[in-house]
Amino acid sequence: MARFRCTVCNWVYDEEKEGKKFSEQPDSYTCPSCGAPKSAFVPEGVVKGDTKITSNVADKVVEQLISFGVKHIYGIPGDSNLPLIEAIRKSGRIRFVLTRHEETAAFMACAHGKMTDKLGVCMSIAGPGCTNLVTGLIDAAEDRSPVLALLGQIPEVYLGSEAFQEIDQLELFHPFTDFTETIARPNQALKLVTMATKHAYKNPGVVALSTPTDVLVEKLDQPIFLPGMRLAKKVSGPKEDDIDRAVSLIDDCRRPAIIAGWGTRHYGDLLLKLAETIKAPVATTSRAKGVIPETHEYSLGVLGSLGSKHAAQSIRSADLVLVIGTGFRHANLVPAGIKMIQIDWDTTRIGRTFDINVGIHGDAGIVMEKLISKVKEKKSDKEFWVNIRKMTKYHSDEIKKDADDLSKPINPGYVIQALKRNVADDAIICVDVGDHTYWFFKKFVCEGQRIFLSANIASMGFGLPAAISAQLDYPDKQVICLCGDGGFAMLAADFTTAVREKLAINAIVFNDGRLKNIKKEQARDGYPMFGVSFPNPNFADFAVSCGGDGFRVKDPKELDPTLKQAFASDKPCIVEILVDPEKLTASGKKLD
């Protein structure tokens, strides 16, 4: 017995239930739900009488993802992905996380990839569901996070006929994905899931599979592929000649310095060992913030647009710079004519921003181990380090000034130092995009915390989904979401997702009633402030109405006890802080 679906309203004619074959219905037969003619019906492909095959394509896709280690899928169900949703339900081995918006789902998958280096999976329905994924997926593509998007699609037999919610998914996703295909036949399914996963890990990057509903429900009994026999880890080793050339440059210099990027995130101990051996201060990119403790004598903190002045000044005083695990886009922060060594597993990033003397292709950890084994231990250049200590002291004094500032409205810098006083040493901090981002990266001193952000496209809205994803992956860790009011409000409805999933995240919201970064840019270009202010709800009351805890802070003296209370809660919390809308991190002065 077979099933036939009305392509107008999706009502299903089930021959078993109706007691009559669909082909036996007269040509005048119409859909009892919407009145569509018999010709509007298409076979669903599930033959109930076939007892030999009990699984369909959707079941096998889910089974294959489980085999590859996927534990969560984030998204929204709908008509064009219901077979996958049912397969997830039946499996009981993947946690489906319903989100309020597909952008949240994509950001969660992206954050999972960034935090674990494992495949993040999100899903959507056809049409608007797919388009809503784009921002989060582009963030994953730009920050090189392995993500698979499962795209619900109309029946394959109707592709190209301008059917309801049909869009050209492959054309839409192709520009920023490493692999995009349609599962058009059952026997393609497992191969395409496997190839997509391979490509997701290759760069890493984003892959997408379009999944027509009529194909998903077709029978399939093919055995799944085992990860150990199909997936291989990409590890690049350097050429010894390149290592020797780099060692020669390092041994001949007096004042080396290191710029460390995302590629060093797993190798903090090696990075410190190399720095201590060659007496090189270490500045990190924003993505690598905290890869070594920023209280360490060799740490300069962050270098770049989010970085500190003393880091930039220290790098300018060096006579050799090792750039490890980053393309580092700020060429003007590196002195012209200085000797450069660049280490990266991606050859396209070596020499992309500046001229180099030695380029080493390879995994940062492998390369640093080889350098440490071959370089001579240096003596510190006294003048170089005296200047660094002087600049570091000036930066520390700035931080102390913020920590002691009890002015009203609350200084954003005071919020950062209050966070520092109360946050756990192993906390995960997900930072959204806004003026608070500058305060955090310049003034928060990391001592073991892991920091995540939307780095290359700098998308507002990243912080909350990332925090939800982090708490799912690391239920025993303290998870902080640091947001401006603009970025938080974009996807604030998904605070209810944290409530439903019982995830005790802590969202710290800087409420200044405006897009302060844009105001700053308007002032920079000589424009008056316009179109950047908005009325805000009471975010603390919103948290309570959602089933979480909410706190509103107007007085800086109340901030420390409030943070302690929020961090001790077993519910999702919003700590809304009314901060000075005029005070900027660059100068610490009010903007006229």
Structure confidence at residue 236 as a pLDDT band (50, 70, 90):
confident
**137/88 same-domain check:** yes
Q: How far apart are CA 47 and CA 43, in angstroms?
A: 10
Q: What are the tokens at 75?
A: 């998204």
Secondary structure element (H or E) that encloses residue 342, with its range: strand 339-344
Tokens standing for 86?
């049912």
Cβ-proximal residues to 586 (8 Å cutoff; 6+ apart), any chain: 438
Task: Examine the domain organization and report whether 290 and 261 are in the same domain.
Answer: yes
- Tell me what pLDDT residue 592 has: 33
Residues 442 and 571 in one domain: yes
Whole-model pTM: value is 0.92
Type and span of the H or E element at 67: helix 57-67
Match 């020797």 to its residue by tokens.
244
**Which pLDDT tens digit goes with each residue over 401-446?**
999 999 999 999 999 999 999 999 999 999 999 999 999 999 999 9
List, as one string, the DSSP characters of 108-135.
HHHHHHHHHSS-EEEEE-STHHHHHHHH
**Spatial separation of the C-alpha atoms in residues 571 and 1, rounded to whole Å:** 50
Q: Edge-to-edge strand order for the sheet containing 179-182?
A: 95-98, 72-75, 120-124, 147-153, 206-212, 179-182
Kind and range of the H or E run holding 197: helix 189-202
Please report, for the domain that includes residue 277, its CATH number.
Answer: 3.40.50.1220
Mean pLDDT across 273-301: 97
Considering the domain architecture, whether residues 251 and 332 belong to the same structural domain is answered as: yes
Would you state the structure tokens that stand for residue 472, as one six-digit string? 């799912």
pLDDT at position 587 over 90: no
Task: Note whether residue 591 is domain-resident.
Answer: no
Residues 75 and 218 in one domain: yes
Residue 473 lies in a domain: yes
| 454 domain residue, yes or no | yes
Which has the closest alpha carbon to 81: 55, 112, 102? 102
Residue 50 has pLDDT above 70, yes or no: no
Number of compact structural domains in the chain: 4
**Which is it for strands 256-260 and 320-324: parallel, antiparallel or unpaired?**
parallel
The stretch 79-97 carries a mean pLDDT of 96
Q: Do 354 and 494 have their domain in common? A: no
Query: Given this model, what pLDDT does residue 588 score?
Result: 40
Q: Are residues 288 and 155 in the same domain?
A: no
Cis peptide before 204 (omega within 30 of 0): yes
Pick the last residue of a domain from 387, 412, 447: 387
Q: How many CA atoms lie within 13 A of 571 on its CB side?
A: 16
Confidence band for 10, pLDDT divided at 50, 70 and 90: confident
Three-class secondary structure of residue 490 per DSSP: helix
- Give SS3 for 494: helix
Q: What domain range is 140 assigned to?
A: 57-226
Residue 488 has pLDDT above 70, yes or no: yes
3-state DSSP assignment of residue 590: strand
pLDDT band at 590 (very low <50, low <70, confident <90, very high): very low
- The CATH number linked to 12 is 2.20.28.10
Domain annotation covers residue 10: yes
Whether 30 and 130 share a structural domain: no
Is residue 474 within 8 A of residue 334, CB to CB? The reply is no
Residue pLDDT, tens place only, 511-527 = 999 999 898 899 999 99
State what percent of residues in the chain have pLDDT above 90.
86
Domain C-terminal end among 361, 387, 413: 387
Give the least confident one: 281-295, 510-524, 538-552.
510-524
pLDDT for res 155: 84
Residue entry with tokens 């000044």: 313
347 and 428 co-located in one domain: no
The CA R_g of the chain, rounded to the nearest whole Å, is 27
Range with the poorest average pLDDT among 205-209, 347-351, 410-414, 459-463: 347-351
Mean pLDDT for the chain overall: 94
38 touches 11 (CB < 8 A):
no
- Tell whether 146 is covered by a domain: yes
pLDDT at 45: 55
3-state SS class at 421: helix
Q: Is pLDDT at 16 greater than 50 in this prediction?
A: yes
Work out the percent of the chain whose per-residue pLDDT is above 70.
97
Domain CATH code at residue 106: 3.40.50.970
394: in domain: no
Query: Poorest-confidence range of 45-54, 77-86, 355-364?
Result: 45-54
256 with 281, same domain? yes
pLDDT band at 584 (very low <50, low <70, confident <90, very high): confident
What is the rounded CA–CA span in Å between residue 266 and residue 557? Answer: 38
Query: pLDDT tens digits for 137-176?
Result: 999 999 999 999 999 998 887 777 677 777 889 999 999 9
What mean pLDDT is predicted for residues 380-401? Answer: 94
Is 126 found in the same domain as 74?
Answer: yes
| Position 586 in a domain | no
Same domain flag for 35 and 62? no
Which of 387, 413, 430 terminates a domain? The answer is 387
For residue 192, name the pLDDT band (cuts at 50, 70, 90).
very high
pLDDT at 302 over 70: yes
Residue 397 belongs to a domain: no
Query: Can you tell me the mean pLDDT for 197-218?
Result: 96
pLDDT at position 586 is 56
